[in-house]
Structure 1
Amino acid sequence: MLARPTLTVFVTAVCLMGCRGTSSNTASVQPSMAESAAPAASAVSDAARELIGTWTCNGSIHGPGGASPSKVRFEARLELDKAWLRTDFVAVSGEYPYKFTSYRTFDSTARTWRNVILDNMGGDATSSSTDGVTWVGESTGPMGRMKIQDTEHLVSPGMLTLRGQYSMDGMSWNTGYDLTCEK
């Protein structure tokens, strides 16, 4: 069972990826670039079906002064021949004017979701997920290098919860955001 991407955010979807082997008596045949891109586009398209659109989130974004009640808008759409899910995340109210753009895709060889984020503070993050719910990775930005963990749960169609955490030492974790979203 593979997962459905959400925003830093993707939830469980069923995708069955085929395996192709070769006989010891035949020459190995490499798939063309178009064949190898098709499983990623198909997995992303199938998984993103419930996520595409505009979401409004309420909760808190945490910063140097602590938690700030915040409203967030994010939009999710497929790009680059449906091989990537792009999400634009914008805090529209609250103390911390945070924004990011993320791109997610499915690596059919590794059977893993990959996520890349670029934010308005000059930071970047990469994370991966095997279930589409828990995303683990690393981030670099004004606070330095840190470990990140995002949990994204599609509660029901049109309802999503998002929680982001970070750790400077890999042992103690702080909350970065805690949001409930509706489409």
Structure 2
Amino acid sequence: MPARPFVTMLVPVVCLMGCRGTSSNTVPMQPSTAESVGPAASALADAARELSGTWTCNGFIHGPGGASPSDVRVEARLELDKAWLRTDFVTVSGEHPYKFTSYRRFDSESRTWRNVILDNIGGSATSSSTDGITWVGESAGPMGRMKIHDTELLVSPGQMTMRGEYSMDGVSWSTGYDLTCKK
């Protein structure tokens, strides 16, 4: 099962759909009770305006044998009474089948985004970000604990680049994925 160890390494490095500023051509969402509560709800609503919908991503997912061309589908939406931004990630082509669901929320007290991921191979990851672009955290899974570092950059409305790295020792870093996504 050579693909399984790689997928386990990929689990912690995929942390998608963070906070972004609002572009001028997005459609405003109807305010809900959760959105009208304060800064956390406002930040979450802003991120949802930019990120909700279906994204088509392509690029490379890196495994033990090197980089594999891959296509990915990402769907994001507000859930649980609009308190969390949910993201479903599914690899639709490439050598390494992988999917996960993540939940993301902004904590206005600490001014930090929190992200939690659960995947199809029993792994989990948590990460945080102060700017919605750079995410750092840890994962746990069949291979043990790993440090993670992800970058998600909204290039323009409807276009994003993502790069993820992981480290087993916190010193040596390996690329997990490089993707370009369009909505």
Q: Name the CA distance, whole Å, in 2 between partners of 1:11 and 1:155.
A: 13
Q: Which residue of 1 aligns with 2:125?
A: 125
Deviation at 1:66, TM superposition (A): 1.9
Deviation at 1:117, TM superposition (A): 0.3
Q: Which residue of 2 aligns with 1:97?
A: 97
Q: Which residue of 2 aligns with 1:50?
A: 50
Instruction: For residue 49 of structure 1, give the secondary structure of its aligned residue in structure 2.
Output: helix
Q: Report how many aligned residue pairs link the two structures.
A: 158
Q: Which residue of 2 aligns with 1:85?
A: 85
Greater C-alpha Rg: 1
Deviations for 1:39-72, whole angstroms, at most 9, x for unmatched residues? 3333201222111000000001112222110000
TM-score in terms of structure 2 length: 0.81
8 A contact 1:55–1:75 mirrored in 2: yes
8 A contact 1:8–1:135 mirrored in 2: no
Between structures 1 and 2, the one with greater helix share = 2
Q: Name the CA distance, whole Å, in 2 between partners of 1:65 and 1:143.
A: 18
Instruction: For residue 43 of structure 1, give the secondary structure of its aligned residue in structure 2.
Output: helix
Instruction: For residue 12 of structure 1, give the secondary structure of its aligned residue in structure 2.
Output: coil
Deviation at 1:141, TM superposition (A): 1.3
Deviation at 1:129, TM superposition (A): 0.2
Deviation at 1:94, TM superposition (A): 0.2
8 A contact 2:62–2:68 mirrored in 1: yes
Alignment of 1:9 onto 2:17: yes
8 A contact 2:20–2:50 mirrored in 1: no
Q: Name the CA distance, whole Å, in 2 between partners of 1:128 and 1:172.
A: 21
Larger mean Cα displacement after TM superposition, 42-51 or 161-170: 42-51
Q: Which residue of 1 aligns with 2:4?
A: none
Q: Which residue of 2 aligns with 1:158?
A: 158
Q: Identity percentage over the alignment?
A: 76
Q: Which residue of 1 aligns with 2:37?
A: 38
Q: Name the CA distance, whole Å, in 2 between partners of 1:142 and 1:95.
A: 19
List gaps (5 residues or longer) in structure 1. Answer: 1-6, 15-33
Q: Name the CA distance, whole Å, in 2 between partners of 1:165 and 1:38.
A: 35
The one-letter amino acid of 1:109's match is E
Detail structure 1 runs of 4+ shifted over 3 Å in the superposition. none
8 A contact 1:84–1:103 mirrored in 2: yes
Instruction: For residue 110 of structure 1, give the secondary structure of its aligned residue in structure 2.
Output: coil
List gaps (5 residues or longer) in structure 2. Answer: 1-14, 23-32
